[in-house]
A = this chain, B = another copy of it.
Amino acid sequence: MSLPEGFYARRVEEKDFEQVTETLKVLTTVGTIAPGAFSKLLKYWNESTVWNDDSDKKIMQYNPMVIVDRRTETIAATGNIIVERKIIHELALCGHIEDIAVNSKYQGQGLGKLLIDQLVAIGFSYGCYKIILDCDEKNVKFYEKCGFSSAGVEMQIRK
C-alpha cells in the first residue's frame, strides 16, 4: 500500500485544476470548466463533512486524491471516495469510489492500484463497512487485483 519512491499521494488542491481536468479526459467527457468554478467546487468538497456520533473524528464527504510524480510535480492519477451515511447496519458508512483516471503517460506502472489502495485506506479509516465502485466488464480483473469482488449489476438512467 506504500507508494513507490518517486510518487506521493495528497488531496486535490486549487493548483491542480488543469492537470486534474486533463487527466480525467482519459475516463470520459470533462467539457469546459472555469477555474473559478473549480475553486468553488473544491471549497464545497473541503467543507462537506459526514455526521459522526461516535467521536469527534472528522469524516470528509468527498476525498479527491491525486498521485503526484515528485520529480516533475506531474499528476499521474486521480480519483475520489465519497462517503455516505446510511440507516442500515446501525447507521453505517458506505464508501463510493468514483472517477478514477490514470494519466496515459503513467499507465502500466501500478499507480492505478496504488491510488485505489489509498482511497480504500481512507474509507476504512473512517469506518466504512463496505466500499463499492462501478466499472466496465473489462476492468473487473484490475479491481480484483485491488481486493474487490463482483457484487451486482450497475443500472443507469440518463436524461
Contacts and interface: CB of A to CB of B under 8 A. Distances in A.
A152 interface: yes
Nearest to A131: B157
A44 B51 contact: yes
Contacts of A136: 152-153
Interface string A38-82: 101101110010110100000001100000000000000000001
Given A31-B89, A151-B154, A152-B154, A98 B84 contact: yes
Nearest to A143: B155
A153 B135 CA distance: 5
Contact of A140 (B28, B133, B146, B153): B153
State how many copies of this chain the complex holds. 2
A1 interface: no
Contact of A156 (B44, B82, B130, B157): B130
A96 to B, nearest CB: 7
- For chain A, which range describes its interface: under 10, 10 to 19, 20 to 34, or 35 or more residues? 35 or more
22 contacts: A24-B87, A31-B90, A37-B91, A41-B51, A61-B61, A124-B159, A132-B134, A132-B154, A132-B155, A134-B134, A134-B152, A134-B155, A137-B153, A140-B153, A147-B157, A149-B155, A149-B157, A150-B153, A150-B154, A150-B155, A152-B154, A153-B154
A84 B48 CA distance: 11
